[in-house]
Structure 1
C-alpha cells in the first residue's frame, strides 16, 4: 500500500484509520514504509500514526535520543493526541519509545518493542557504512535481515544515499553514540504498562539475550520470538508480527483502558 504523508508545521507523518491510537516509531535507518504492513492490517480498527523522525536533518546539537523524544512530545502535542496511546518502536524507535514512556507515563497505555536498543546493540554490524562503497552498504543492510532478499535495491539505495551525505552521517553518528550512552537498565523497572516484546530469533544487532534482559527488567512484559527473522520482524515476518500484536492488543484492552 502507498502511505499518504501529511504535514503540520515542521512535522511529516502518516495518520491512517480511526479508533485507539497506535504510535509507531521507526529506527535509525528506518522509514515510514517499514510499518506498511502494520498500517494496512490495523487501520480498520485503530488510528495508526507514524511521525517521520528528523534523524538526518535535526540540529546537530540535538541529535540524540533526548532530542528525538522531545520531537515526539512536540509531535503528539501538535496533532492534539490527548488520550493515552499504544507506543510501538523498532530498533532506535524502541529506545525513543522507552524514553518517551518514562518521561510521559500517563500518555502511554501499552508498549511494544521489537529489536529495540536501550540496553545493547551492534549497530550496522559493528561498523559504520563506508562512503561511496555500494557493495559494503549492501552487505550491511542485508545483515539486518535473516533473508538478504528483504534488503531490496530500493532499500540499499536509500541507505547508500544517506551515507554519502556528510551532514547526514554526522547526525547518524551523534544519534548512534547517544543511544549507546543512554543505557536504560536502571530505569526500566519504572515501566508498568503492559509490554510486548517481539524479537527475531536470529537478530544479530540486538541478539535474543537482549530481549530476555528487557523481559526481566520490565515487570509487566511478555516475550515472543519469531524464527528465521532478524532485526525488523514487522518487515521480515509481517503476518506473524501482526498476529502477535493483535492478540496482545485484544488481551490487554481492559488493562489499557483502566490503567489511568
Structure 2
C-alpha cells in the first residue's frame, strides 16, 4: 500500500480506511512510512490517520511538546474526530500523554511504544556529529535490535536532516523540551485504557521505562517483544500488530 499525503487547511496527513479513528503520532525523527504495516493491517476496520507533526515549522521559541499537543488538538477538531485511539512512538507517545491529560473527552484509549515522557537516552547519550556519516549510521542502528533495519535510505534521511541547521536547532529544542517535561507526577491521572507495547531490547527508552509507565498508569497493560528495539512497529510489525489488535478488540466491548 502506497501512503498518499493529503494537504488541507495547513495540515499534511495520511488518512486511510473507515471506522473509529486510530491516530498515529510519529517520533522526533520518525517518518510516516514507519507506520506502513499498521496502516496496512488496521485500515481494513479503522479510519487510520497520521498527521505530520510540525517539528520543523514551529517558531523556535514555542518549539516543544506542548505546542505539538496543541497542534494535535487542532487536527482532531479539524477532522471532527471523537472516540480516538491515540498511538504514539517515542516523542509521539509523549505528545499523546500530554494530549490525553489536556483533552480526555476526545480520546478513548492510548497506545504507547518506546514513548518518552519519563526517560529517554536519545542517540545513545550524544547528538550525531554532522560531518561523520559513519557516526550517524551507528546512532541510527542504535535505535534497533537488528542493525540491518537501519537501511542506507534511513541513514541518508537522518544525515540530511541533521545537516540542515534550522532543523537541527528545532530538534535540539524539542529534545530539551521533552526532557524538561517529565510526566511522572501526572501519569496517575490517566485512567483510560492504556496499552504499552515495548521492545525488550530498547536502548533509548529501556525496559524499566515501560515498567514504570505500567506501574504509574492505573488502567495499563504491558506487552514485551523480544529481540526488538525502539520502534517495534517497524522491527517486529507482525508481533506489534497482534498485540495492538488484541487491545483494540478488548476496548470494543
TM-score (norm 1): 0.96
Determine the C-alpha separation between the residues in 1 that align with 2:128 and 2:10: 29
Matching residue of 2:234: 235
Matching residue of 1:102: 101
Determine the C-alpha separation between the residues in 1 that align with 2:245 and 2:221: 14
Matching residue of 1:183: 182
Deviation at 1:246, TM superposition (A): 0.3
2:23 matches 1:10: no
Matching residue of 1:225: 224
Query: How many pairs align?
Result: 253
Deviation at 1:132, TM superposition (A): 2.1
Task: Indicate if the aligned counterparts of 1:8 and 1:78 stay in contact, CA closer than 8 A.
Answer: no
Deviates more, 1:228-237 or 1:50-59: 50-59
Q: What is the Cα-based RMSD across aligned positions, in Å?
A: 0.7
Deviation at 1:57, TM superposition (A): 2.3
Deviation at 1:80, TM superposition (A): 2.0
Determine the C-alpha separation between the residues in 1 that align with 2:26 and 2:169: 19
Determine the C-alpha separation between the residues in 2 that align with 1:26 and 1:130: 23
CA-to-aligned-CA distance 1:20-63 (integer Å, 9 cap, x gap) = 10010000010111100000000010000000011122211121
Deviates more, 1:72-81 or 1:142-151: 72-81
Q: How does 1:67-78 map to 2 (within 5 A)?
A: 67-78=67-78
Give the 4+ runs in structure 1 shifted more than 6 A: none
Task: Indicate if the aligned counterparts of 1:17 and 1:47 stay in contact, CA closer than 8 A.
Answer: yes
2:205 matches 1:206: yes
Determine the C-alpha separation between the residues in 1 that align with 2:37 and 2:62: 31
Deviates more, 1:53-62 or 1:43-52: 53-62
Determine the C-alpha separation between the residues in 2 that align with 1:214 and 1:174: 24
Determine the C-alpha separation between the residues in 2 that align with 1:2 and 1:121: 32
CA-to-aligned-CA distance 1:201-257 (integer Å, 9 cap, x gap) = 000000000000000000000000000000000000000000000011101112xxx
Task: Indicate if the aligned counterparts of 1:110 and 1:195 stay in contact, CA closer than 8 A.
Answer: yes
Determine the C-alpha separation between the residues in 2 that align with 1:233 and 1:131: 27
Structure 1 residues not aligned, in runs of 5+: 255-260
Determine the C-alpha separation between the residues in 1 that align with 2:53 and 2:134: 27
Structure 2 residues not aligned, in runs of 5+: none
Deviation at 1:185, TM superposition (A): 0.4
Matching residue of 1:154: 153
SS at structure 1 position matched to 2:204: coil
Deviation at 1:110, TM superposition (A): 0.6
